[in-house]
Amino acid sequence: MKPAHTEGSASPGKAAFFDIDGTLISTNVVHAYGYYAMNEGSALGILQRSVKTLASIPVFSVLNLVDRKTFNEFFYRSYAGLTEDRLLTLTEDMFEDLIKPAIFAKAQDLIDQARRAGCKVVLVTGALDFTMRPLARHLGADDLIANRMQFVGGKATGKVIPPIIEGANKANVIREYCETQGLSLMKSHAYSDSASDYAMLTIVGRPTAVNPDLRLRALARSYNWPILDVR
């Protein structure tokens, strides 16, 4: 099954694929869940989820470093039982309260530059699609490729609908996207802050390290990739 995305219009031929967390914004999926957990359900339910989340942070941190796919599968179990209607209602408030203030100062300039170069702007993220849609609209992205939560009976199951959008698999998603949209991989750009997105960066002809971690910075220097700081 193909990942969900929103359609947009742009000059054909090439795209600019942007990771989000750490690349365009300073927050991450754990911050987003924390917002939902603190604003959904009864006072007791909020307290229980908050305590559980705090206790799980060390595990999340280790899994995030070791295996992004396992991290996503484990982390999104935290959403089990949250109601779809409430999550969607909270999304716009979360964008204004949490995500919008976390957009890096030069992130919009980077996206505008890609558009001026004739690229279709596509956000590619392991975050949940409904969480990132307001950001995609705000930044003027043409498309959004993100993880999708499974809902049954109006409640989240805690399972992500395959394929899971994570580090190594982003390359497969981008390749398929370019094939279906008639875009050239070699003419396309990719931007990320993390070495976990190495495959995503190497699959395109024009990779760029943005706010890179130490490992990605070293890789970028060895391959002579551009290094940018948009913070």
pLDDT digits (tens, 9 = 90+) for 30-81: 888 888 877 765 444 544 555 555 555 555 554 455 466 677 777 888 899 8
Can you give the pLDDT at residue 12? 56
Start-end of H helices in the chain: 29-39, 43-66, 68-75, 84-94, 107-116, 129-139, 169-181, 198-203, 214-223
pTM: 0.85
What letter would DSSP give residue 25? B
Domains and CATH numbers, the chain: 15-228 (3.40.50.1000)
Pick from 72-86, 105-119, 158-172: least confident = 72-86
Q: Is the dihedral of CA 203, 206, 211, 214 positive or negative?
A: positive
pLDDT of 7: 47
- The token pair at 160 is 């992500």
Give 188: exposed, middle or buried? Use CB within 10 Å, 0-12, 13-18, 19+. Answer: buried
Residue type for 144, please? L
3-class DSSP state of 62: helix
Closest to 6 (Cα-Cα) out of 100, 93, 121, 116: 121
Measured CA distances, 154 to 35, 80, 81, 85, 148 (Å): 20, 11, 9, 7, 14
Strand bridging mode 155-160 / 149-152: antiparallel
